[in-house]
Amino acid sequence: MQKKLQNILRKRKKAVLVSGDISEEEHCKKIIDKAVEEFGRIDILVNNAAFQMSHESLQDIPSEEWDYTFRTNIYAMFWLCKAAEPHMKPGSTIVNTTSINAYKPKPILLPYATTKGAIQNFTVGLGQLLAEKGIRVNCVAPGPVWTPLIPSTMPQEEVKSFGKNTPIGRAAQPAELAPAYVLLASEGSSYMTGSTVQVTGGTPSI
């Protein structure tokens, strides 16, 4: 992360870090307010943060965790979009992150998978709602991707076989998702809204 920030600074680009908990509405508003203060407007909003935990039984899922998963994964997305919209002009774009779990929910990830289904519907609905303002809303649906979230939240046996059941036969690296986000953030997707770009290693979502 530090190296990436240094590269940004070398190119005379500006990055502003805002630490905090996006499961709190006030912090989501603070993020948007800070962005507007520093840059004057918002052209692109990417919602990519998420929380997940694994559970073998419905009875093992604490109500507090269910609530926190929803607040982090879908409430925060609503709060950030709502706060950003007044500062977005025609041609601006919102890119959300759903998951293959929206279509093929993994039982041990029930709270997470449920929020990803909600994100899919939120994206389609918001895309229609904001179309007349010239703001596009799309999402990326990743399949298995190697991130620190995987070994820290999934059983060891799941980690060992992670991604091997895809047609490509492996999990993705985060960099392999980047082109999908770049497309949806650029004018290359000017006739796309409410759409989903699937990066699933060949796993069908229909």
Nearest in space to 38 (alpha carbons), one of 72, 14, 19, 20 = 14
Specify the CATH number of the domain 25-199. Answer: 3.40.50.720
Residue 197 pLDDT: 97
Residues of the chain with pLDDT under 70: 1-12
E strands, the chain, are 44-47, 93-97, 136-142, 196-199
Tokens of 168: 């490509």
Contact 115, 106 (CB under 8 A): no
Residue 171 pLDDT: 92
pLDDT 10s digits, 133-184:
999 999 999 999 998 889 888 888 889 999 999 999 999 999 999 999 999 9
What's the distance, CA 38 to chain centroid?
23
Which residue out of 68, 75, 103, 112 is catalytically annotated? 112
Q: Give the amino acid at 18.
A: V
What's the distance, CA 34 to chain centroid?
20
Q: What is the dihedral of CA 154, 155, 159, 163, to 10 degrees?
A: -70
Q: What is the DSSP letter of 76?
A: H
Whether the full predicted model's pTM is greater than 0.85, yes or no, is: yes
Residue 112 falls in the annotated catalytic set: yes
